[in-house]
Amino acid sequence: MKNTLLKAIYESGKIILENFGGTFRIESKDSVSNLVTEVDKKSEDAIIQIIIRDFPGHSLLSEEIGAIDSDSGMKWIIDPIDGTINYAHAIPLCCVSIGIEKNKEIVMGAVYNPMSGELFFAEKGQGAFLNDKAISVSEESNFNKSLLVTGFPYNTSKNPNNPVGVFANFLLQDIPIRRLGSAALDICWTACGRFDGFWEYNLNAWDVAAGFLIIKEAGGVVTDFKGEEYSVYKKEILASNGKIHNEMMAVIRSAVKD
């Protein structure tokens, strides 16, 4: 499976890189800010063809085609381009993300940004890696010195969880926050210690499946906003180095309560 995963992710990366900064068709999905390009679809098709060739009985869950189910207990969870808005505007912060689920547990995952050449990879129980070098979350324990990253849902104005209020509460702590535009990279950059914590609403399994395993294997903590066990099928994620997790959760919960 690792060989197939890497074949698929590098083939996808090749397509993404070849078309980066070029001219291609762009469409809106359920909102004007939720885009899909023809490159997303080419990338997805290439990934799926490789997986089907090697593992024809496995299930698939991919952003553009949805679910193809089987009773194998194995599922490949695919985001052909995470950060499509960035990609559509020739911003080199995007990636392809593929996670593998076995009996409802993520057991392998990779996130690849072909523009930077960075490949994040993890296998359950084997640690997390960036281009074959072991990575770990940061050691920052002082919440006031932390660097955070987040993203906003497409329906920010209608979201009942007050994402703007949460963001404002963090800003009022005088804590620097970045927004990359790719949840998969947000998680991986937290996993390798560039960021100390990440939170976001309304993500889908394909956004987080690979990153979830990568940060867990890098020593991070991942929960929902109440501190309860996280699933990639939940709509809220809080991921951190573990040392500032409770403080982040308190800020989020206070804004949601307000």
Active site annotation includes 81: yes
- Active-site pick, 44, 82, 140, 217: 82
245-257 and 163-171 helices, crossing angle to 10° = 130
- Active-site pick, 4, 37, 84, 150: 84
Angle made by CA atoms 220, 225, 230, in degrees to the nearest 5: 55
Active site annotation includes 71: no
- Active-site pick, 9, 16, 81, 187: 81
Active site annotation includes 98: no
Q: Which residues on neighbouring strands pair with residue 95, listed in sequence order? A: 82
Round to whole Å and give the CA distance between 207 and 84: 12
- Active-site pick, 40, 44, 63, 186: 63
Round to whole Å and give the CA distance between 151 and 190: 14
Please spell the DSSP secondary structure of 85-107, one letter per residue.
HHHHTT-S--EEEEEEEETTEEE
- Active-site pick, 79, 123, 217, 236: 79
Round to whole Å and give the CA distance between 195 and 191: 8
Active site annotation includes 258: no
- Active-site pick, 44, 186, 207, 236: 207
Determine how many CB atoms are found less than 10 A away from the CB of residue 88: 17
Looking at the annotation, which residues are catalytic? Answer: 63, 79, 81-82, 84, 207
